[in-house]
Amino acid sequence: MIDNETTRLLASRTSVRAFQDKGIDEEIVEQLKTLTQRAPSAGNMQYWSVIEVTDPDRRKTLAHLWDNQEMIAKAPLVWIFLADLEKWYDHFRLSGCQGLTDRSAAYGWGNTHLALQDALIAAQNAVVAAQALGLGSCYVGDCIENTEQMTELLKLPRHAIIATALIFGWPKGQNGPRNLSPRCPNDFIFMKDTYQKRTFEELEEANKEKEDLLRRSGRLKALGADNIAQYYYLRKHTSAFMAEMNRSAGIFMKACAEEPQ
């Protein structure tokens, strides 16, 4: 096993949701931006942008729109990662690209997906960079809810859609290493050559450590679930926030794949 500063950094990352009441110096934010930008992107086109939200009132609004998560209002820095096709569509139009060819592959799900890939890869670069700088971070999946209000709040054009969001801050009460959350065994996640359907026993076995944790912490019982599948089905798949995510994300993804008017 290779042991160095980078492997230790990756092996010890956890999400951080509680932050010190202290801002992040501009110099550090700038370094975080530069490191984040080193992320790979399709064709190096960087089909992504970030909207940085530092204003406390705006962060309160986001906390409300993103499933009332208090940590968003309390974090000193919020980055909203956009899959941003808009800037290239503008650039194409302004550079006289129309009429250069009669090929018609310019718009659609492929572009949208690539831009989402770019944005998510950049986001994970930011997570690792933040940790290297001593900052904590946490994703906020609920950022894809309430598309109408988010579009209005951020003045989003049709072809710049929210891919994900991250909150950052100086971790609170960090004495010693944090507890790592369990993961499935490598053999369950990594398949060879073709897709491998799992048996019920394999599914149960792979998630056993996570289930034990949920049972010990009383979270299974609190939801009336007998096992981890019932827990996630009740807690996530059939929740009100999932219904809102499905509605909201469907609207902006579909609009993004359409040709500019």
Ligand X SMILES: Cc1cc2nc3c(=O)[nH]c(=O)nc-3n(C[C@H](O)[C@H](O)[C@H](O)COP(=O)(O)O)c2cc1C
Interface with ligand X by CB under 6 A: which residues?
Answer: 14-15, 17, 69, 138-142, 164, 181
Q: How far is the CB of 235 from ligand X (least distance, A)?
A: 12
- To the nearest whole angstrom, how small is the minimum distance from the Cβ of residue 259 to ligand X? 29
Beta strands in the chain (DSSP E): 48-53, 77-84, 136-139, 160-169
Q: 11 or 100, CB closer to ligand X? A: 11
CA distance linking residue 245 with residue 201, whole number of Å? 31
The CA distance from 42 to 92, in Å, is 17
Select 45 or 71, whichever has its Cβ closest to ligand X.
Answer: 71
How far apart CA 67 and CA 142 sit, in angstroms, is 6
Least distance in angstroms from the C-beta of 221 to ligand X: 19
From the CB of 1, what's the least distance to ligand X, in Å? 20
Q: Please give the residue whose beta carbon sits closest to ligand X in the complex.
A: 141
Q: Which is nearer to ligand X, 108 or 185 (CB)?
A: 185
Residues 6+ apart with CB under 8 A from 239: none
Beta carbon of residue 44, minimum distance to ligand X (angstroms, whole number): 25
CB of 241 to ligand X, least distance (A): 9
92 vs 139, which CB is nearer to ligand X? Answer: 139
Residue closer to ligand X (CB basis): 36 or 89: 36
45 vs 132, beta carbon nearer ligand X: 132
**φ and ψ at residue 79, rounded to 5 degrees:** -115, 125
Segment 44-48 long-range contacts (CB within 8 Å, at least 24 positions apart) = 45/88, 45/118, 46/118, 46/122, 47/83, 47/84, 47/85, 47/88, 47/111, 47/114, 47/115, 47/118, 47/119, 48/81, 48/82, 48/83, 48/84, 48/115, 48/118, 48/119, 48/122, 48/163
